[in-house]
Chains A and B, each alone.
Chain A
């Protein structure tokens, strides 16, 4: 049944009213979100301007420049006789010092984090930019121990947790 002119006009008016109501709701919703985001951005900007945050950002940037990110090297040791954590650390530092000088060895951040005497695996911490130097020093361990200790590099990890996981996997597979 065709609609009369009056009915059509009413329908058009109702549609436009509905559309305008919807757009009003959308605008109100967006405005509310804009206010929330704006307040958060203002808060963040004021926080970034604070002295504590500035100092923190500066420290992070300086650390990046110095390249102080740490790495964890997993090694397998083949040795005759007893070899403890302290002995291994001193042997490594000695080897590093012989090759690159003692001043450099003191800034390499070399430390034996973990030594499993049963499986002969150890985790060594060092500063990331010294990776090749630490690996080269592993070769000198053989010279200094007169062949009594052989260190085989297995993997370099970014975190101690992952390094320990890898060692656990190695231990499980060895069983």
Chain B
């Protein structure tokens, strides 16, 4: 359905073979996928598979060097600390769990002031919508993004290959949540590409 360069910045690899991930990504319209736990960059069947590393502790923990998309994941508003380590090493901050329910004014201000790129997972958004959970934190994020104060990217957030959704579906969910079509499109194309470039991969 799409001739766009859609990029998935959040595929949480579950041990599926790279060939299978690439095949699914191609079917779902993605030209590049950041896969958590992947060791090296791979290009299979026209799809770029980029290694991604997620860390949840903003102070401790080892961070791999080299061309890896490094993401600081935060699921609790209380634990949201943009330490030096996060600001130096992380290419983006991934917000999920309770953060989507309640972001908090202080955290929203932090995000806007530091202008750190933000990633959200579509799987979590769908899960919250289907279960009827609050998404006021996400609404705040989308407002900030619409106002041009933060850079937002959306990834599929799939844990298994079966959970990957089509890129157009992800654009549609952002549009129905109140984003303009142009901004929703950028969150799946330009912004993830910029993130990949920061990680050292040029996506054409």
Which residues of the partner chain A approach B1 to less than 8 Å between Cβ atoms? Answer: 152-155
Measured CB to CB, the closest approach of chain A to B97, in angstroms, equals 17
Which residues of the partner chain B approach A150 to less than 8 Å between Cβ atoms? Answer: 162
Measured CB to CB, the closest approach of chain B to A150, in angstroms, equals 7
A132-B130 in contact (CB<8A): no
A99-B129 in contact (CB<8A): yes
In the assembled complex, the Cα of A62 lies from the Cα of B170 at a distance in Å of: 33
B163-A136 in contact (CB<8A): no
B162-A132 in contact (CB<8A): no
Is A140 at the interface (CB under 8 A from chain B)? Answer: yes
B165-A100 in contact (CB<8A): no
In the assembled complex, the Cα of A99 lies from the Cα of B160 at a distance in Å of: 23
Interface residues on A, range: 20 to 34
> Which of chain A's residues has its CB closest to B170's CB?
A139
Which residues of the partner chain A approach B130 to less than 8 Å between Cβ atoms? Answer: 98-99, 140, 143-144
Given known pairs A98-B129, A154-B1, the reply for A135 and B168 (CB within 8 Å) is yes
Which residues of the partner chain A approach B160 to less than 8 Å between Cβ atoms? Answer: 147
Is B175 at the interface (CB under 8 A from chain A)? Answer: yes
Is A123 at the interface (CB under 8 A from chain B)? Answer: no
Is B166 at the interface (CB under 8 A from chain A)? Answer: yes
> Which of chain B's residues has its CB closest to A152's CB?
B166
In the assembled complex, the Cα of A114 lies from the Cα of B94 at a distance in Å of: 40
B129-A135 in contact (CB<8A): no
Measured CB to CB, the closest approach of chain A to B189, in angstroms, equals 16
B129-A132 in contact (CB<8A): no
Per the 8 Å Cβ criterion, residues 164-182 of B in contact with A are 165-166, 168-173, 175-176, 181
In the assembled complex, the Cα of A162 lies from the Cα of B122 at a distance in Å of: 32
| Contact with A153, one of B126, B129, B169, B173 (Cβ below 8 angstroms) | B169
| Contact with B172, one of A135, A152, A155 (Cβ below 8 angstroms) | A135
> Which of chain A's residues has its CB closest to B27's CB?
A152
Is A133 at the interface (CB under 8 A from chain B)? Answer: yes
B129-A138 in contact (CB<8A): no
Given known pairs A100-B176, A150-B162, A155-B1, the reply for A138 and B169 (CB within 8 Å) is yes
Measured CB to CB, the closest approach of chain A to B20, in angstroms, equals 13
B28-A139 in contact (CB<8A): no
A138-B166 in contact (CB<8A): yes
A142-B165 in contact (CB<8A): yes
In the assembled complex, the Cα of A36 lies from the Cα of B75 at a distance in Å of: 78
Which residues of the partner chain A approach B176 to less than 8 Å between Cβ atoms? Answer: 99-100, 132-133, 136
Which residues of the partner chain A approach B169 to less than 8 Å between Cβ atoms? Answer: 135-136, 138-139, 153
Is B127 at the interface (CB under 8 A from chain A)? Answer: yes
Q: A2-34 CB contact bits vs B (8 Å, 1 = yes)?
A: 000000000000000000000000000000000
Which residues of the partner chain B approach A155 to less than 8 Å between Cβ atoms? Answer: 1
Greatest chain B CB density within 10 A among A98, A100, A142, A154 is at A142
Q: A152-172 CB contact bits vs B (8 Å, 1 = yes)?
A: 111100000000000000000
Q: B20-50 CB contact bits vs A (8 Å, 1 = yes)?
A: 0000000110000000000000000000000
Measured CB to CB, the closest approach of chain A to B92, in angstroms, equals 22
- Residues on A facing B (Cβ under 8 Å): 98-100, 131-136, 138-140, 142-144, 147, 150, 152-155
The 8 listed contacts between A and B (C-beta, < 8 Å) are: A98-B129, A100-B176, A136-B172, A139-B169, A143-B130, A147-B163, A152-B27, A153-B168
- Residues on B facing A (Cβ under 8 Å): 1, 27-28, 122, 126-127, 129-130, 160, 162-163, 165-166, 168-173, 175-176, 181
